Amino acid sequence: MSTTAVVIGAARGIGQAIGEDLAQAFPTDRLVLADIDLDAVERVADSLRARGVDAVARHVDIADEKSVSNLVAATSEASRVAIAAGVFDSAPTLQVDVADFERIIRINTIGCFDVARHYAGRMAERGTGSIVAVASIAARMPRMRQAGYAASKAALRQALRVLAMEVAADGVRVNTVSPGPTDTEMMRQLASDHATVDDLADGSLLAFRPRIPAGRVARGSDIAAAVRFLLSPDSSHILLGDIVVDGGELLGM
């Protein structure tokens, strides 16, 4: 049966991978790709339309409540929503600028939560729907120089669990996926002092980063597969869940 799927933060990286995965897994869906970078997300939508996918691009700034409300109003029928928007910053904690900390929380926590609660409300009215947000293993494992990012993802996970409890009886499922290091454009820039992103899999004693047992970092497709599962009927009895996709870095803890 045809439905509408929305991917927030779909212009690049994990969000783009999620959009491409959903297009293949649910070929009859109308796919709405939203991002703050409209030109970039238009290019992603164009590439999918060239393959026969019913894909449209929309602008959204998740730090702007009105922008979020406009997107949700225009896609109120959505029954699958993936939230992959977010920002990253790294600085020694003693040197963290409060404005930068607030910006990360505003986007990664409040912005993503705002998207989720608005869609959850629409889904609750219809009695069905699934929402998945991309969190991070940084919500569980402290990362050097990532106080703001780790705090934002930990807060997002817990806020969405509360939301999930409150809308479960209305037939709405809310879950998260927590990636470990993932080979994206942003990660390649952050790991520019490594020969390859996969070198991060070796870990670092100085940074208190454990080795990744799988021997490589994640690909966008690894994260997208977990998101797709949680958005599909195959996961109908999973809610308040968090699927960790980290190649074993957390050792299952």
Half-sphere exposure of 99 (CA within 13 A, CB side): 0
The long-range contacts involving 186-194, CB below 8 angstroms and separated by at least 24 positions, are: 186/13, 186/88, 187/217, 190/88, 190/90
How far apart are the C-alpha atoms of 38 and 33, rounded to whole Å? 9
Q: Is 149 a catalytic residue?
A: yes
Q: Are strands 30-35 and 172-179 parallel, antiparallel or unpaired?
A: unpaired
CA-to-CA separations, 189 to 71, 159, 220, in angstroms, rounded: 30, 30, 16
> Which position among 149, 217, 224, 239 bears the catalytic label?
149
The residues facing 30 across adjacent strands are: 4, 54
Token representation of residue 31 = 């796919």
| Residues with catalytic roles | 149
